Amino acid sequence: MPIDVLVTLNENYMEPLKVMLTSLHHNNLEENFRIWVIHESIGPKKMSDLKKLTDYFGWELHNEQITKNWLDKAPTIKRYPKEMYFRLLCGEILPQDVKKVIYLDPDILVINPINDLWEVDLEGNMIAAATHTGITNLTSEINKIRLGTDHEYFNSGVMLLDLEKTRANVNLEDILGVIEKHGAELLLPDQDVLNFLYGKHIKEVPEEIWNYDTRKAVSYYARSLSKHDLQWVISNTVILHFCGQPKPWNPNSDSRFTALYLHYMQLLTRLEKNFLG
Protein backbone atom coordinates (compact mmCIF):
# COMPACT_ATOMS: atom_id res chain seq x y z
CA MET A 1 0.00 0.00 0.00
CA PRO A 2 1.33 3.47 -0.84
CA ILE A 3 2.02 6.18 1.70
CA ASP A 4 -0.17 9.23 1.03
CA VAL A 5 1.68 12.56 1.26
CA LEU A 6 -0.10 15.92 1.09
CA VAL A 7 1.26 19.34 0.19
CA THR A 8 -0.66 22.62 -0.11
CA LEU A 9 1.15 25.45 -1.84
CA ASN A 10 1.31 28.05 -4.59
CA GLU A 11 3.70 28.38 -7.52
CA ASN A 12 6.35 30.14 -5.41
CA TYR A 13 7.16 26.89 -3.60
CA MET A 14 7.20 24.47 -6.51
CA GLU A 15 11.01 24.29 -6.72
CA PRO A 16 11.43 23.66 -2.96
CA LEU A 17 8.69 21.03 -3.25
CA LYS A 18 10.71 19.18 -5.89
CA VAL A 19 13.80 19.28 -3.66
CA MET A 20 11.76 17.93 -0.74
CA LEU A 21 10.38 15.10 -2.88
CA THR A 22 13.89 14.29 -4.13
CA SER A 23 15.06 13.89 -0.54
CA LEU A 24 11.99 11.78 0.25
CA HIS A 25 12.74 9.47 -2.67
CA HIS A 26 16.45 9.04 -2.00
CA ASN A 27 15.88 8.07 1.63
CA ASN A 28 12.79 5.90 1.11
CA LEU A 29 13.69 3.82 -1.94
CA GLU A 30 11.67 0.85 -0.73
CA GLU A 31 8.45 2.86 -0.33
CA ASN A 32 5.74 3.82 -2.81
CA PHE A 33 4.08 7.20 -2.43
CA ARG A 34 0.98 8.97 -3.65
CA ILE A 35 1.54 12.72 -3.73
CA TRP A 36 -1.52 14.95 -3.33
CA VAL A 37 -1.04 18.59 -4.34
CA ILE A 38 -3.86 20.91 -3.27
CA HIS A 39 -3.67 24.35 -4.84
CA GLU A 40 -5.70 27.03 -6.56
CA SER A 41 -3.56 28.41 -9.37
CA ILE A 42 -0.41 26.41 -10.17
CA GLY A 43 0.04 26.53 -13.95
CA PRO A 44 0.03 23.48 -16.26
CA LYS A 45 3.76 23.80 -17.08
CA LYS A 46 4.85 23.63 -13.45
CA MET A 47 2.50 20.73 -12.74
CA SER A 48 3.80 18.93 -15.82
CA ASP A 49 7.39 19.36 -14.62
CA LEU A 50 6.41 18.02 -11.21
CA LYS A 51 4.72 15.01 -12.81
CA LYS A 52 7.89 14.20 -14.76
CA LEU A 53 9.71 13.96 -11.45
CA THR A 54 7.10 11.83 -9.67
CA ASP A 55 6.78 9.58 -12.75
CA TYR A 56 10.55 9.06 -12.66
CA PHE A 57 10.24 8.04 -9.01
CA GLY A 58 7.38 5.67 -9.89
CA TRP A 59 4.87 7.57 -7.78
CA GLU A 60 1.30 8.73 -8.41
CA LEU A 61 0.74 12.48 -8.55
CA HIS A 62 -2.74 13.85 -7.88
CA ASN A 63 -3.43 17.42 -8.97
CA GLU A 64 -6.23 18.70 -6.71
CA GLN A 65 -7.00 22.17 -8.06
CA ILE A 66 -9.58 24.08 -6.03
CA THR A 67 -12.19 26.22 -7.76
CA LYS A 68 -12.02 29.92 -6.99
CA ASN A 69 -15.44 30.14 -5.34
CA TRP A 70 -14.85 27.39 -2.76
CA LEU A 71 -13.63 29.87 -0.15
CA ASP A 72 -15.85 32.84 -0.98
CA LYS A 73 -16.78 33.27 2.69
CA ALA A 74 -13.23 33.05 4.01
CA PRO A 75 -10.78 35.92 4.49
CA THR A 76 -7.87 35.31 2.13
CA ILE A 77 -5.64 38.30 2.73
CA LYS A 78 -1.89 37.81 3.18
CA ARG A 79 -2.28 36.66 6.80
CA TYR A 80 -4.83 34.05 5.75
CA PRO A 81 -3.56 32.45 2.51
CA LYS A 82 -5.88 29.97 0.88
CA GLU A 83 -3.28 27.24 1.40
CA MET A 84 -3.98 27.58 5.13
CA TYR A 85 -7.58 26.45 4.60
CA PHE A 86 -6.59 23.71 2.17
CA ARG A 87 -4.34 22.18 4.81
CA LEU A 88 -6.94 22.27 7.59
CA LEU A 89 -9.81 21.15 5.35
CA CYS A 90 -7.93 18.51 3.38
CA GLY A 91 -10.35 15.80 4.49
CA GLU A 92 -13.12 17.52 2.54
CA ILE A 93 -10.95 17.85 -0.56
CA LEU A 94 -9.26 14.46 -0.83
CA PRO A 95 -11.21 11.37 -1.98
CA GLN A 96 -13.12 9.46 0.66
CA ASP A 97 -10.97 6.36 0.17
CA VAL A 98 -7.91 8.27 1.43
CA LYS A 99 -8.06 7.40 5.13
CA LYS A 100 -4.90 9.08 6.41
CA VAL A 101 -2.20 11.33 5.05
CA ILE A 102 1.17 12.79 6.01
CA TYR A 103 1.16 16.54 5.49
CA LEU A 104 4.58 18.09 4.74
CA ASP A 105 5.56 21.71 4.26
CA PRO A 106 7.68 22.17 1.13
CA ASP A 107 10.56 23.79 3.06
CA ILE A 108 11.83 20.53 4.54
CA LEU A 109 14.22 17.68 3.81
CA VAL A 110 13.42 14.04 4.56
CA ILE A 111 16.78 12.49 5.44
CA ASN A 112 15.79 9.07 6.82
CA PRO A 113 12.91 6.58 6.35
CA ILE A 114 9.48 8.08 7.04
CA ASN A 115 7.47 4.86 7.47
CA ASP A 116 7.48 5.01 11.27
CA LEU A 117 5.50 8.26 11.13
CA TRP A 118 3.00 6.67 8.77
CA GLU A 119 2.57 3.80 11.25
CA VAL A 120 2.17 5.96 14.38
CA ASP A 121 -0.70 4.79 16.57
CA LEU A 122 -2.81 7.90 17.04
CA GLU A 123 -4.51 6.30 20.04
CA GLY A 124 -7.86 7.84 19.11
CA ASN A 125 -6.44 11.26 18.32
CA MET A 126 -7.07 13.07 15.04
CA ILE A 127 -3.51 14.26 14.34
CA ALA A 128 0.09 13.54 15.28
CA ALA A 129 2.43 16.54 15.33
CA ALA A 130 5.45 17.95 17.14
CA THR A 131 6.07 21.03 19.24
CA HIS A 132 8.99 23.45 18.85
CA THR A 133 9.86 24.23 22.46
CA GLY A 134 13.56 25.09 22.52
CA ILE A 135 15.67 24.47 25.64
CA THR A 136 12.74 25.17 27.97
CA ASN A 137 9.00 24.86 27.50
CA LEU A 138 8.57 28.64 27.62
CA THR A 139 7.15 28.95 24.09
CA SER A 140 4.33 26.51 24.81
CA GLU A 141 3.53 28.23 28.11
CA ILE A 142 3.26 31.62 26.40
CA ASN A 143 0.98 30.18 23.72
CA LYS A 144 -1.22 28.52 26.33
CA ILE A 145 -1.81 31.94 27.87
CA ARG A 146 -2.20 33.69 24.51
CA LEU A 147 -4.72 31.18 23.12
CA GLY A 148 -6.33 30.11 26.39
CA THR A 149 -5.45 26.43 25.86
CA ASP A 150 -4.18 23.77 28.26
CA HIS A 151 -2.08 21.66 25.87
CA GLU A 152 1.25 21.98 24.09
CA TYR A 153 1.59 24.29 21.07
CA PHE A 154 2.01 22.17 17.95
CA ASN A 155 3.79 23.05 14.73
CA SER A 156 1.62 22.46 11.66
CA GLY A 157 4.46 21.88 9.17
CA VAL A 158 4.53 18.10 9.63
CA MET A 159 1.39 16.19 10.55
CA LEU A 160 -0.09 12.73 10.31
CA LEU A 161 -3.85 13.18 9.89
CA ASP A 162 -6.63 10.65 10.36
CA LEU A 163 -8.92 11.90 7.58
CA GLU A 164 -11.95 10.01 8.81
CA LYS A 165 -11.73 12.01 12.04
CA THR A 166 -10.96 15.32 10.32
CA ARG A 167 -13.98 14.87 8.07
CA ALA A 168 -16.14 14.48 11.15
CA ASN A 169 -14.62 17.30 13.22
CA VAL A 170 -13.00 19.99 11.06
CA ASN A 171 -15.23 22.47 9.26
CA LEU A 172 -14.91 25.89 7.68
CA GLU A 173 -17.52 27.51 9.93
CA ASP A 174 -15.51 26.79 13.08
CA ILE A 175 -12.34 28.12 11.47
CA LEU A 176 -14.08 31.31 10.37
CA GLY A 177 -15.53 31.72 13.85
CA VAL A 178 -12.07 31.68 15.43
CA ILE A 179 -10.75 34.17 12.86
CA GLU A 180 -13.71 36.50 13.43
CA LYS A 181 -13.48 36.37 17.22
CA HIS A 182 -9.71 36.14 17.74
CA GLY A 183 -8.23 37.42 14.48
CA ALA A 184 -6.20 40.18 16.12
CA GLU A 185 -4.56 37.68 18.48
CA LEU A 186 -3.50 35.18 15.80
CA LEU A 187 0.23 35.46 15.14
CA LEU A 188 0.57 32.40 12.89
CA PRO A 189 -3.04 32.00 11.75
CA ASP A 190 -3.09 28.43 10.42
CA GLN A 191 -1.01 27.14 13.31
CA ASP A 192 -2.95 29.14 15.91
CA VAL A 193 -6.29 27.94 14.51
CA LEU A 194 -5.04 24.35 14.53
CA ASN A 195 -4.00 24.63 18.17
CA PHE A 196 -7.02 26.61 19.33
CA LEU A 197 -9.63 24.30 17.79
CA TYR A 198 -7.95 20.92 17.56
CA GLY A 199 -4.90 20.90 19.85
CA LYS A 200 -6.61 18.62 22.37
CA HIS A 201 -6.95 16.03 19.60
CA ILE A 202 -3.24 15.99 18.69
CA LYS A 203 -0.77 13.32 19.77
CA GLU A 204 2.73 14.65 20.33
CA VAL A 205 5.65 13.06 18.47
CA PRO A 206 9.32 13.93 19.13
CA GLU A 207 10.33 17.11 17.33
CA GLU A 208 14.00 16.11 17.18
CA ILE A 209 12.92 13.14 15.03
CA TRP A 210 9.91 14.35 13.07
CA ASN A 211 10.08 18.14 12.87
CA TYR A 212 13.62 19.32 13.62
CA ASP A 213 13.71 23.13 13.51
CA THR A 214 17.06 23.81 11.82
CA ARG A 215 17.33 27.22 13.54
CA LYS A 216 17.50 25.53 16.95
CA ALA A 217 20.35 23.04 16.60
CA VAL A 218 22.11 24.53 19.63
CA SER A 219 18.95 24.16 21.72
CA TYR A 220 18.52 20.51 20.76
CA TYR A 221 22.17 19.86 21.56
CA ALA A 222 21.92 21.53 24.98
CA ARG A 223 18.57 20.00 25.91
CA SER A 224 19.88 16.50 25.11
CA LEU A 225 23.03 17.06 27.21
CA SER A 226 25.21 16.93 24.08
CA LYS A 227 23.63 13.74 22.72
CA HIS A 228 21.93 15.29 19.71
CA ASP A 229 25.01 16.42 17.85
CA LEU A 230 25.30 16.55 14.06
CA GLN A 231 26.17 12.85 13.79
CA TRP A 232 23.09 11.94 15.84
CA VAL A 233 20.86 14.13 13.66
CA ILE A 234 22.08 12.59 10.42
CA SER A 235 21.53 9.07 11.78
CA ASN A 236 18.24 9.61 13.64
CA THR A 237 16.34 12.70 12.54
CA VAL A 238 13.86 12.03 9.74
CA ILE A 239 12.59 15.53 8.91
CA LEU A 240 14.61 18.73 8.89
CA HIS A 241 12.31 21.76 8.80
CA PHE A 242 13.82 25.02 7.56
CA CYS A 243 11.55 27.33 9.53
CA GLY A 244 11.90 31.08 9.32
CA GLN A 245 14.23 33.09 7.10
CA PRO A 246 16.44 32.90 5.18
CA LYS A 247 15.41 29.73 3.43
CA PRO A 248 18.26 27.38 2.48
CA TRP A 249 17.81 28.04 -1.24
CA ASN A 250 18.47 31.75 -0.68
CA PRO A 251 22.05 32.94 -1.35
CA ASN A 252 22.39 34.46 2.14
CA SER A 253 21.58 31.20 3.97
CA ASP A 254 24.55 29.82 5.91
CA SER A 255 23.11 27.50 8.57
CA ARG A 256 24.82 24.22 9.42
CA PHE A 257 22.24 22.43 7.26
CA THR A 258 22.40 24.69 4.19
CA ALA A 259 25.04 22.53 2.49
CA LEU A 260 22.88 19.43 2.93
CA TYR A 261 19.94 21.22 1.34
CA LEU A 262 22.11 22.38 -1.56
CA HIS A 263 23.21 18.77 -2.03
CA TYR A 264 19.62 17.70 -2.69
CA MET A 265 19.11 20.73 -4.93
CA GLN A 266 22.09 19.52 -6.95
CA LEU A 267 20.69 15.98 -7.14
CA LEU A 268 17.43 17.41 -8.49
CA THR A 269 19.29 19.55 -11.04
CA ARG A 270 21.15 16.48 -12.31
CA LEU A 271 17.95 14.48 -12.54
CA GLU A 272 16.21 17.19 -14.52
CA LYS A 273 19.17 17.68 -16.84
CA ASN A 274 20.02 14.04 -17.52
CA PHE A 275 16.74 12.14 -17.22
CA LEU A 276 13.69 14.39 -17.23
CA GLY A 277 14.39 16.54 -20.28
Q: What are the residue boundaries of the structural domains of the chain, listed by start? A: 3-276
Q: What is the DSSP string of 133-187?
A: --SSSHHHHHHHHHHT-SSPPBPSSEEEEEHHHHHHH--HHHHHHHHHHHGGG-S
* Percentage, residues of the chain above pLDDT 90: 75
For the stretch 82-117, pLDDT in tens is 888 899 999 999 999 999 999 999 999 999 999 999
Of 99 and 144, the structure prediction assigns the larger pLDDT to 99
For the stretch 33-49, pLDDT in tens is 999 999 998 999 999 99
> Domain 3-276 maps to which CATH number in 3.90.190.20, 3.90.550.10, 3.40.50.2020, 3.90.1490.10?
3.90.550.10
Type of residue at 220: Y
φ/ψ of residue 177, rounded to 5: -65, -40
Average pLDDT, the chain: 90
Long-range contacts of 173-177 (CB under 8 A, 24+ apart): 175/74, 175/85, 175/88, 175/89, 176/73, 176/74, 176/75
Rounded to two decimals, what is the model's pTM?
A: 0.93
